[in-house]
Amino acid sequence: MELTTVWFALIAVLWMGYFTLEGFDFGVGMLLPVLARDDTERRVLINTIGPVWDGNEVWLLVAGGATFAAFPEWYATLFSGFYLPLLLILVALIVRGLAFEYRAKRPDAAWKGRWDLAIIVGSFVPALLWGVAFANILRGVPIDADLEYVGGFFTLLNPYALLGGVTTLLLFLTHGAVFVSLKTDGDIRHRARALALKVGAGAAVAAVAFLVWTQVETGTAASAVAFVVAALALVAGLLALPSGREGWAFLGTFVAIALAVAGLFLALFPDVMPTTLAAGESLTTTNAAATPYTLKIMTVVAVVFTPLVLAYQGWTYWVFRKRIAVHHIPVAPAATPVP
């Protein structure tokens, strides 16, 4: 197998890991005002992802770095053409990270409320725009014969891409609600389980519409299999919720998102960024790739360090595997009046 194909597959795996792990982070953040009734319950929700959210973002950093090193032409065209949406995602992630760190620095409600809003918006923006971005990559964008993006921002706001954004948004909301039901106890758990069923129905409709559209336009036999199994996993996960089997439900949404992303990459291959221009040239795993020597060095590094990273992250999830509830949250200090 060509190393270009190997690295295309590895980048696909990195995005699968990012969307399945950061996906429930985004979902929990967006659901903060929906599932929590007071500050203590908001702290419960934030604590469900507190030990893992920054580790989950490492998948994005590695995916970006791997793309830069393995397919520099893809990276250059992607980041120049998608500059504004990617900048909005980056700003949202930065503000969201600051909110997790600074929310508890002061006890007054107004301070916490502003950072809570930052968490909500910082989760909503990436959840929507990642779907828009990936849908445009699949659909194709105007790339000329010099492998340069020649479209504008509004080129990216087409019906297919917007449906992709809605799909990732609803899937992450469902994934997050299921995760909350898995990681909490008491009233929050029951609210999250009920909400996951409602949002999950909408996510299933949007996902089927988007995946069918994708399959008709660019799909292959392999992507069709991935899409069908993804849809079945999502339905199976939702069906496990009413009986309180949140672990199986989370596995269902996890597998559904992972296989949906895998199917998108299968539908894209061997292109990495197709062009919509008759006189243009698509970026492929061949013309966008780095030198063979670079790919060999990267492969050695990946073989050595990937198992270590996976082992560490798996250990983190194991350590913080128990449920939390309101009674686990210590009483917050009262706000000191300003003289």
Residue ranges of the chain with pLDDT lower than 70?
Answer: 1, 332-339
What per-residue confidence (pLDDT) applies to 229? 96
Close Cβ partners of 144 (under 8 Å, ≥ 6 residues apart): 150, 275, 277, 279, 280, 281
The 10 Å CB-count burial string (b at 16+, else e) for 208-244 is bebbebbbeebbeeebbebbebbbebbebbbebbeee
What per-residue confidence (pLDDT) applies to 306? 87
What per-residue confidence (pLDDT) applies to 338? 46
For residues 234 and 191, what is the distance between their CA atoms, to the nearest angstrom?
A: 19
What per-residue confidence (pLDDT) applies to 155? 85
Check if the beta carbon of residue 277 is closer than 8 Å to that of residue 148: no
Confidence (pTM): 0.93
Does 337 sit behind a cis peptide bond, omega within 30 degrees of 0 on the bond before it?
Answer: no
